[in-house]
Every structure is written in structure tokens, then in C-alpha cells.
Amino acid sequence: MGRLAMSGEDNLLRLIEADENDENGENNYHLQDQVGFILRKAHQRHVALFASHIGDLTPPQFAALAKLHDIGETSQNQLGTLIAMDAATVKGVIDRLKARGLVEVSKHEVDKRRLLVNLTPEGREAIERLIPLARAITEETLAPLTAKEAATFLRLLAKLA
């Protein structure tokens, strides 16, 4: 059934079609059931929970500090790969962390293209202080699920990411 040329005056026809579709269920598109839409909402909820516990750092900023704490000094590009940010995004994140004195950057001695990034003592203090809060945020995000459900969810989510 072609709809390409449907004009605005076809309301009656559309209603009839809607009725037909309601019966066979084939043509009703429910945005609220689409994985992308729900994924976006779940992500929004997590970000809001994060902000309510850790107000002065965003999840991407926290991710950068946590990864630097985990692996130590690395290049901006490599850091971006590890925390799933493209070059333009990671630059902005690092710039803001640098402005706040939580990371410091230096030039790579051998490969002059690379910009090395590392925690400052203040950055290390901050991330070590915040990690317990981050654990609590993870718990709270998963709170609507039982422990078994949470494990299942994380396993399946990881397959999609």
C-alpha cells in the first residue's frame, strides 16, 4: 500500500487504516518499545543519578580520571579509545580536567604527535575519593533489578555495546 504521495487531507483514510492495523498489529509503530528509545531513557536516568551523587564531575570526566588511575599516563588518543570517545570529544574533556588541575599534559619525547595525559596528585585524590560513590551509583542504577536480573542484564548489555 503506497503512502509516498499521501496528502494532509487523508485523515479519514488514515483512521480506517489504523483500525485495520490495530486488528492485525502489523503496522503500529510504538516508539516507546524501540530499543533505541529505551536505551536513551535508561542512559538519561543513569546520568541524572550520577549528577545527584557526583555533582562536580560528569560521567565522561569521571571515566577519563578512572581510566588514567587504572593504567597511568597515556596519550590523549589512546585514552579516547579506552573510554569510547572520539578525538574531538576527548580533547574537550581533557581540556576541562586540565583547567581544573586534575590532569596534566606533556609532549611525548619520541613521537612528537602524541600528547601524554596523566593524573595530578589532586586528580588522584579526587578519583580515589569518588570511586566509592561511583560504586553506589552503579548499584542505584541497577536497583530496579534483582541481583540475578542485574547479572543477566549486564551480560546482554555488554553484547550490544
Residues that bind a second copy (CB under 8 A): 3-8, 29-31, 33-47, 50, 59, 63, 66-67, 69-70, 83-84, 120-121, 124-125, 128-129, 131, 134-135, 137-138, 141-142, 144-145, 149, 152-154, 156-161
Cβ burial, residue 132 (10 Å; 0-12/13-18/19+): exposed
Q: Smallest distance, Å, CB 143 to DNA?
A: 19
Choose among 94, 146, 45, 20: nearest CA to 86: 94
| Grid coordinates of 15 | 483512521
Q: How many helices (H) and strands (E) does the chain have?
A: 7, 3
3-class SS shares of the chain: helix, strand, coil, % to 5? 65, 5, 30
Give the x/- contact pattern for DNA in 41-70, rule: CB under 7 A.
---x--xx--x------xxxx---------
Q: Choosing among a second copy, DNA, none, which partner's interface includes residue 53 (Cβ < 5 to 8 Å by kind)?
A: none
Kindly report the number of other CB atoms within 10 A of residue 142's CB atom. Answer: 16
Q: Smallest distance, Å, CB 38 to DNA?
A: 12
Binding site for DNA (CB under 7 A): 40, 44, 47-48, 51, 58-61, 75-78, 80, 84-89, 91-94, 96, 110-116
